[in-house]
């Protein structure tokens, strides 16, 4: 079955054609990063207007790259939430209109569920008929999924296709949001995740070459971790505030804090930053590395604990932060001794794309599910959790 997937929930416009929820025929993503970079984040009004101009060329490119005509497409799918209302409206309206015009089945897709299904996508060719099972290489249930994206951080137990149990979630900022906000504090630009990862890798490599201990260097910045013991919940806002105070103490790169005159006073993190600055040149990259370690620490330990408690065979990562190399490595180290398999999507399928939409849609369509053309956008949509 060939599904045309459309993604427009935020600032990426995507169209993709995927066979049987796994094999990629085409995947086109138009990103607005350059447009939003100058504002340090996504501006909703701008995003929806950009979606409008990008959607048709992106769709045409996806069909062309897949060498597909409309006769080859079996169904059409588009994201209906969560996301920015104006952006969602563009992709959903185009998807429903095409389904009507070309008389194809239509299914609306939950963007978060699609992030999880990115783990079913694979780079290779589709198998020839009769060679191997079609589901070879699929993630195995029951599994624990760590969803870490720009707006969500959730630990989810997935017992079967479509069966989600919420184990824990963030009480404040999402992991990706923390990366973005801290990158802004450190003056590293948008989007923050890749910028922080790069800065961290740079200083870690430098220290290796100088044969200096990374652990020792990071001691200059001892950052808080919210363990929230006894729960699988997360909290990253304390870490973000500590980073703000630290950065201002160390480098003065957060002038908005100074104007309030009070935040810094009495903050141990501001003093920690000042001390680090007095000891030598303030090091933004080392700050980035310490921050990344603090966030990865909590994510990895909690995910490992959930994998142990629920005795799962597999852990999968989903969402933009799943692209983070440090998170991938650390979780691998946590899970190897337990003989729990870890998988994560190829980097380009971690952040927003339409291939994951087509993949999730395939599994709904296989169960006979369709949506009517009266389906509306749902900006606040969450995963369809079952009661535990
Ligand atoms: P949601 O999916 O929750 O609606 P979103 O679609 O905006 O939010 P994604 O596209 O899943 O979010 O992910 C974007 C986020 O991933 C950004 O916050 C970005 O900083 C983060 N990110 C991307 N690459 C990396 C990386 N290498 N390390 C850490 N974070 C990263
Ligand atoms: Mg985005
Ligand atoms: Fe996303």
**What CATH number is attached to the domain comprising 107?**
3.30.420.40
328 in the same domain as 212: yes
Atom of ligand 1 nearest to the CA of 292: 29
Instruction: Give the total number of structural domains in the chain.
Output: 2
Give the separation between CA 158 and CA 140, rounded to whole angstroms: 10
Residues 151 and 189 in one domain: yes
Pair (118, 171) in one structural domain:
no
In 3D space, the residue among 323, 324, 322, 343 whose CA is nearest the CA of residue 332 turns out to be: 343
| 190 and 204 both lie in a single domain | yes
Place 262 in a pLDDT band, splitting at 50, 70 and 90. very low
Share of the chain above pLDDT 90, in %: 79
In a domain, 207, yes or no: yes
**324-353 pLDDT, tens digit each:** 999 999 999 999 999 999 999 999 999 999
The predicted model gives 223-240 an average pLDDT of 97
Q: Virtual CA dihedral for 193, 194, 198, 204, nearest 10 degrees?
A: 40
The domain of 355 spans 2-123+347-366
- Asked whether 73 and 16 are in contact (CB, 8 A), the reply is no
| pLDDT mean over 269-294 | 87
DSSP code per residue over 131-160? SS-TTTT---SSEEEEEE-SS-EEEEEEEE
Tens of pLDDT, residues 89-138: 999 999 999 999 999 999 999 999 999 999 999 876 666 655 566 787 89
**What average pLDDT is seen over the chain?**
92
Using an 8 Å Cβ cutoff, are 249 and 264 in contact? yes
- State whether 189 and 106 are in the same domain: no
Atom of ligand 1 nearest to the CA of 183: 20
3-class SS at 285? helix
pLDDT at 224 over 70: yes
Would 173 be classed as within a structural domain?
yes
Q: For residue 136, tell me if it sits in a domain.
A: no
pLDDT band at 265 (very low <50, low <70, confident <90, very high): low
**Helix, strand, or coil (residue 284):** helix
> In terms of domains, do 79 and 174 share one?
no
- Statement to judge: residues 97 and 153 lie in one domain: no
pLDDT, mean of residues 291-295: 97
Do 351 and 318 belong together in one domain?
no
Q: Confidence class of residue 258 from pLDDT cuts 50, 70 and 90?
A: very low
Same domain, 232 and 353: no
pLDDT of residue 130: 56
User: Which ligand 1 atom minimizes the distance to the CA of 148?
Assistant: 11
Say if 382 falls within a structural domain: no
On whether 180 is known to bind a ligand per the annotation, the reply is: yes
Residue 226 annotated in ligand binding: no
In the chain the first and final C-alpha atoms are separated, in Å, by: 34
In this prediction, residue 259 carries a pLDDT of 45
Give me the helix-helix angle, 192-209 and 284-309, nearest 10°: 110
For residue 274, what pLDDT band results from cuts at 50, 70 and 90? confident
Is the minimum distance from the CB of 345 to ligand 1 under 6 angstroms?
Answer: no
- Residue 40 pLDDT: 74
Q: Quick one: which H or E segment has residue 92?
A: helix 85-101
> Which residues surround the ion ligand 2 when the cut-off is CB under 5 Å?
10-12, 352
Confidence grade of residue 25 (pLDDT, cut at 50, 70, 90): very high
**Bridge partner residues of 158 (DSSP):** 143, 164
Residues 232, 284: one domain?
yes
Query: What DSSP assignment string belongs to 312-377?
Result: -SEEEEESGGGG-HHHHHHHHHHHGGGT-EEE---GGGTSS-SHHHHHHHHHHHHTT----TT---
Please indicate, yes or no, if residue 331 is contained in any of the structural domains.
yes
What pLDDT is stored for residue 52 in this prediction?
A: 96
pLDDT digits (tens, 9 = 90+) for 308-320: 999 999 999 999 9
Indicate if ligand 1 lies below 6 Å from the C-beta of 197. yes
State the Cα–Cα distance between residues 360 and 22, nearest whole angstrom.
10
Say yes or no: 241 and 267 in one domain.
Answer: yes
Q: How confident is the model at residue 247 (pLDDT cuts 50, 70, 90)?
A: confident
Residue nearest to atom 30 of ligand 1 (CA): 193
Measure 221 CA to ligand 1 centroid, in angstroms: 25
User: What is the predicted pLDDT for the residue at 323?
Assistant: 98
Say yes or no: 172 and 272 in one domain.
yes
Per-residue pLDDT for 372 more than 70? yes
Cβ atoms 240, 173 nearer than 8 A: yes
In three-state secondary structure terms, 289 is helix
State the greatest distance between any 2 C-alpha atoms of the chain, in Å, as a whole number: 71
Whether residue 58 lies inside any domain: the answer is yes
Contacts of 57 (CB under 8 A, 6+ apart): 30
Asked if the structure places residue 373 within a domain, the reply is no
Atom of ligand 1 nearest to the CA of 180: 20
Residue pair 296/227 in contact (Cβ under 8 Å)? The answer is no
Is 312 known to sit in a ligand binding site? no
pLDDT exceeds 50 at position 178: yes
Section 9-15 average pLDDT: 96
The CB of 353 under 6 Å from ligand 1? The reply is: no
Taking 60 as the threshold, does the pLDDT of residue 292 lie above it? yes
Tokens 């095409």, located at residue: 98
For residue 256, being part of any structural domain is answered with yes
**Ligand 1, pocket-test mutation among 116, 150, 175, 379, most atoms within 8 A of CB:** 150
Kindly provide the ipTM of the predicted complex, given to two decimals: 0.99
CA–CA dist 55, 64 (Å, integer): 14
Is 67 a known ligand-binding residue?
no
Q: Which of 82-86, 245-249, 299-303, 378-382 has the lowest mean pLDDT?
A: 245-249
């Amino acid at each position: 079955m060939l599904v045309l997937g459309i993604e427009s929930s935020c600032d990426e416009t995507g169209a993709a054609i995927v066979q049987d929820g796994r094999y990629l025929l085409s995947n086109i993503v138009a990103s607005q990063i350059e447009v939003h970079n100058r504002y340090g984040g996504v501006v909703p009004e701008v995003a929806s207007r950009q979606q409008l101009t990008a959607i048709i060329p992106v769709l045409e490119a996806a069909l062309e790259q897949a060498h597909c005509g409309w006769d080859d497409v079996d169904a059409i799918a588009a994201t209906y939430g969560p996301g920015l209302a104006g952006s969602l409206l563009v992709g959903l309206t185009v998807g429903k209109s095409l389904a009507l015009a070309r008389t194809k089945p239509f299914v609306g897709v939950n963007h978060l569920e699609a992030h999880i299904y990115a783990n079913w996508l694979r780079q290779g060719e589709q198998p020839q008929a009769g060679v191997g099972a079609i589901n070879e290489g699929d993630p195995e249930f029951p599994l624990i999924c760590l969803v870490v994206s720009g707006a969500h951080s959730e630990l989810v137990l997935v017992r079967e296709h479509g069966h989600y149990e919420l184990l824990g979630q963030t009480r404040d900022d999402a992991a990706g949001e923390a990366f973005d906000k801290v990158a802004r504090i450190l003056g590293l630009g948008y989007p923050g995740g890749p910028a922080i990862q790069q800065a961290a890798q740079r200083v870690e490599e430098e220290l290796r070459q100088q044969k200096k201990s990374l652990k020792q260097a990071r001691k200059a910045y001892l950052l808080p971790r919210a363990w929230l013991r006894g729960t699988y919940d997360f909290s990253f806002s304390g870490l973000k505030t500590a980073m703000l105070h630290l950065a201002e103490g160390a480098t003065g790169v957060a002038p908005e804090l100074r104007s309030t005159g009070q935040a810094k006073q009495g903050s141990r993190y501001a003093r920690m930053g000042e001390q680090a600055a007095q000891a030598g040149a303030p090091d933004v990259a080392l700050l980035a590395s310490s921050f990344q370690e603090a966030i990865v620490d909590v994510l990895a330990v909690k995910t490992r604990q959930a994998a142990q408690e629920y005795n799962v065979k597999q852990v999968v990562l989903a969402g933009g932060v799943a692209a983070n190399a440090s998170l991938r490595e650390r979780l691998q180290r946590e899970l190897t001794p337990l003989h729990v398999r870890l998988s994560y999507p190829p980097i380009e399928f971690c952040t927003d794309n339409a291939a994951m939409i087509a993949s999730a849609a395939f599994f709904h369509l296989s169960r006979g599910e369709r949506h009517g053309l009266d389906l509306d956008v749902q900006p606040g949509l969450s995963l369809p959790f079952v009661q535990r």
